[in-house]
């Protein structure tokens, strides 16, 4: 029996309502499923899976992982998971919103080392990644199936940098593993997807909590991207209320073009620039 047939049978059996906004595009390509598992490189790990849906990926994760914590927001899906995952004793099903759950202290992960593996909908991508990387206990690795366009934004380099790319690359090294055709899902979505691996920098994993300087860093970056068509010096001067000549001096000291735009700077450029601006602000 194919994955597509199995999924259709489960939907019919439980009279499920398909909601594409909730990410109800089910993976039906077993080769893609194995590619995700291969990318996660599981060796007796604890895995946090977000949005397990009908449990197709969850079952494969459980065969390799020490334990899988599957967080599902949809109540009707949770009823199905109790049936499809009943033969596994290393899976914990948690009903709830992952963003709210991650804010809890102590969290469901109890400060354990863990990896995140998930096929997530568009609306959840940015807030979930940011929350995971900024948490008191960030994962050792994140492997996600996301929209192709979003993966391209996350892995962007100058001159096509964007706020999402900076937000992820500040904390981690993202890499697109492979692009996945929309034909690998049912119902078929309108866009292709990508498997992306995000590996947090060692300093992120070891830190106790985000530093105050990180908040200042992102305040400066957001100011820089506030009007993409404007030159960086204009945006920073306007949003941060800093004299434009001081901004140009800081850019020159960082060996950056005074006429540069935000998308032309990489993460290291932003780090140098923000340090210089913070230093000026304190003196």
CB 64 within 8 A of CB 93: no
Residue 11, domain CATH? 3.40.50.150
Q: What is the DSSP letter of 18?
A: P
Residue 259, domain CATH? 1.10.8.100
Number of domains in the chain: 2
Query: Distance (Å, rounded) from C-alpha 136 to C-alpha 102?
Result: 10
Looking at the fold, whether 20 and 86 belong to one and the same domain comes out as yes
Query: Distance (Å, rounded) from C-alpha 195 to C-alpha 212?
Result: 32
Looking at the fold, whether 250 and 190 belong to one and the same domain comes out as no
Looking at the fold, whether 89 and 119 belong to one and the same domain comes out as yes
Q: Which of 206, 229, 263 is the last residue of a domain?
A: 206
Check residue 73 and give its pLDDT.
Answer: 93
CB hemisphere CA count around 262 (13 angstroms): 21
Q: What is the pTM of this model?
A: 0.93
Looking at the fold, whether 90 and 114 belong to one and the same domain comes out as yes
Looking at the fold, whether 68 and 200 belong to one and the same domain comes out as yes
Query: Distance (Å, rounded) from C-alpha 118 to C-alpha 56?
Result: 11
Q: Pairing mode, if any, of strands 115-119 and 141-147?
A: parallel
Looking at the fold, whether 202 and 218 belong to one and the same domain comes out as no
Looking at the fold, whether 221 and 176 belong to one and the same domain comes out as no
Looking at the fold, whether 166 and 241 belong to one and the same domain comes out as no
Looking at the fold, whether 33 and 157 belong to one and the same domain comes out as yes
Q: Residue 18's pLDDT band (boundaries 50, 70, 90)? A: confident
Check residue 208 and give its pLDDT.
Answer: 47
Q: Which of 190, 206, 222 is the last residue of a domain?
A: 206
Query: Distance (Å, rounded) from C-alpha 250 to C-alpha 233?
Result: 10
CA distances from 131 to 9, 98, 171, 209, 221 (A): 36, 10, 11, 12, 18
Q: Which of 168, 186, 206 is the last residue of a domain?
A: 206
Give per-residue pLDDT as tens, 60-110. 999 999 999 999 999 999 999 999 999 999 999 999 999 999 888 667 787
Looking at the fold, whether 193 and 224 belong to one and the same domain comes out as no
Say which residues have a Cβ less than 8 Å from residue 144's Cβ, sequence separation at least 6.
116, 117, 118, 119, 120, 125, 129, 195, 196, 198
Give per-residue pLDDT as tens, 208-266. 455 677 889 999 999 999 998 899 999 999 999 999 999 999 999 999 998 999 999 99
Structural domain of residue 53, as residue ranges? Answer: 3-206
């Amino acid at each position: 029996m194919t994955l597509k047939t199995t999924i259709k049978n489960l939907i019919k059996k439980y009279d499920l309502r398909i909601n594409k906004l909730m990410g109800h595009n089910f993976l039906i390509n077993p080769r893609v499923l194995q590619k995700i598992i291969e990318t996660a490189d599981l060796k007796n790990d604890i895995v946090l899976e977000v949005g397990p849906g009908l449990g197709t990926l969850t079952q494969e994760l459980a065969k390799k992982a020490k334990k899988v914590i599957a967080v599902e927001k949809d109540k009707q899906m949770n009823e199905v998971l109790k049936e499809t995952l009943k033969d596994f004793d290393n899976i914990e099903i948690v009903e709830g919103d992952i963003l709210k759950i991650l804010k809890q202290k102590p969290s469901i992960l109890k400060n354990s080392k863990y990896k995140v593996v998930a096929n997530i909908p568009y609306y959840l991508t940015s807030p979930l990644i940011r929350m995971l990387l900024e948490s008191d206990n960030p994962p050792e690795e994140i492997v996600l199936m996301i929209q192709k366009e979003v993966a391209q934004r996350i892995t962007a380099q100058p001159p096509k940098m964007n706020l999402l790319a900076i937000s992820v690359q500040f904390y981690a090294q993202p890499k697109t593993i492979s692009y996945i055709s929309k034909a690998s899902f049912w119902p078929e979505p309108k866009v292709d997807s990508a498997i992306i691996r995000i590996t947090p920098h060692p300093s992120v994993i070891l830190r106790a909590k985000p530093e105050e300087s990180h908040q200042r860093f992102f305040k400066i970056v957001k100011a820089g991207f506030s009007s993409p068509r404007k030159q960086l010096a204009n945006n920073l001067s306007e949003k941060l209320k800093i004299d434009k000549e001081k901004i140009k001096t800081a850019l020159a000291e960082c060996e950056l073009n005074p006429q540069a735009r935000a998308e032309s700077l990489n993460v290291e450029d932003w780090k140098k620039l923000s340090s210089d601006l913070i230093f000026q602000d304190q003196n």
